[in-house]
A = this chain, B = another copy of it.
């Protein structure tokens, strides 16, 4: 049986429909009229659920699954018990996600936490703000002077939209966010507790006390960006801070002033970009990556978890380490140091009188 979910299922599918939507190939004897009403992991799935297996570590669970249908590859198909409809796919997880996105379409975009329709009577919208049709404003949200909110956009509870901010269509701004000095495109999702557009960190250091540098730039967030909970994006100093189209940023990341993040980048949790960092398109930063100021990461480059980038990363390369370097070189150094310490230990064990 499908686990409890906070999200309603909006549709269900026959095996025939799944085949048609995903291009999967039904194994011999598959009941094409069988209906799947839910999705579940292979070890928890019930007779009404679609599941998937794409890695060897789930092959054992496949043997005892009670799923109604399973998307998998030829390699694992033979493990499926009798009575389970097996659908062969080159990328079983991708096919599974295609179906999941349809069954749980309501989970693809945050909705009102209060069931609000229109503007909550508890919200405060400045008379000079402009709200397009079909905007939802949750309780206690604050929309400042001259802000403009596009059609279909949700402003979450306690979100603060500053003066002159523009937000496009079909966006969702999470609870307790503050957004100032920012222009946002369409279909942007910002999860709860983000702050966007506050001052960058700029001072002239001085023995008599540090002098604040005014931060007069903006933040520009292009279409289809998604920003995880607790992430901070500072506005630019005299340039803008820019997040390119389709980029996805995870929780608790820091984007400093004047950063230019390209299109379709992935920035995993707790990563930090110092000021004036450039990420070209399709960069992937592993979790807790840190990048020092005025550094460029080239198109399609990848960093391993907890990389510390002290210099430019060429396009297409995979880097890791502290300081970060090409991954292979980094791993050679990890191994070389292990061997060095092991030799030193052996040597010292060979001469116990010296220890």
Contacts and interface: CB of A to CB of B under 8 A. Distances in A.
A83 B332 CA distance: 56
A165 to B, nearest CB: 8
A336 interface: yes
Given A158-B160, A201-B228, A107 B216 contact: yes
Contacts of A178: 113, 156-157, 174-176, 192-193
Given A40-B238, A216-B5, A248-B210, A232 B232 contact: no
A149 B202 CA distance: 27
Interface string A146-178: 000000000011101111100000000011111
A179 to B, nearest CB: 9
Contacts of A292: 287, 305
Interface string A96-137: 010011001101101001110000101010100000000000
Interface in A189-231: 191-195, 198-199, 201, 203-205, 207, 209-218, 224, 226, 228-230
A24 B254 CA distance: 36
Contacts of A163: 6, 113-115
A114 B107 contact: no
A101 to B, nearest CB: 6
Contacts of A305: 274, 290, 292, 308, 310
A139 B163 CA distance: 14
Contact of A214 (B101, B181, B211, B334): B101
Among A234, A272, A274, the one with the most B-chain Cβ atoms within 10 Å of its Cβ is A272
A101 B308 CA distance: 33
A46 interface: no
B203 A248 contact: yes
A157 B199 CA distance: 17
Contact of A195 (B157, B193, B268, B336): B193
Q: Which 10 A-B pairs have the closest CB atoms?
A: A107-B214, A336-B341, A6-B181, A195-B229, A175-B178, A178-B192, A104-B214, A333-B341, A332-B341, A192-B195
16 contacts: A6-B163, A7-B214, A7-B216, A39-B216, A41-B238, A105-B214, A113-B180, A176-B178, A195-B229, A205-B284, A290-B306, A305-B310, A333-B340, A336-B340, A337-B337, A340-B340
Interface of A: 3-7, 39-41, 44, 93-94, 97, 100-101, 104-105, 107-108, 110, 113-115, 120, 122, 124, 126, 138-140, 142, 144-145, 156-158, 160-164, 174-178, 180-181, 191-195, 198-199, 201, 203-205, 207, 209-218, 224, 226, 228-230, 232, 234-235, 238-240, 245-246, 248, 250-252, 254, 256, 264, 266, 268-270, 272, 274, 282, 284, 287-288, 290, 292, 305-306, 308, 310, 322-323, 329, 332-341, 344-345
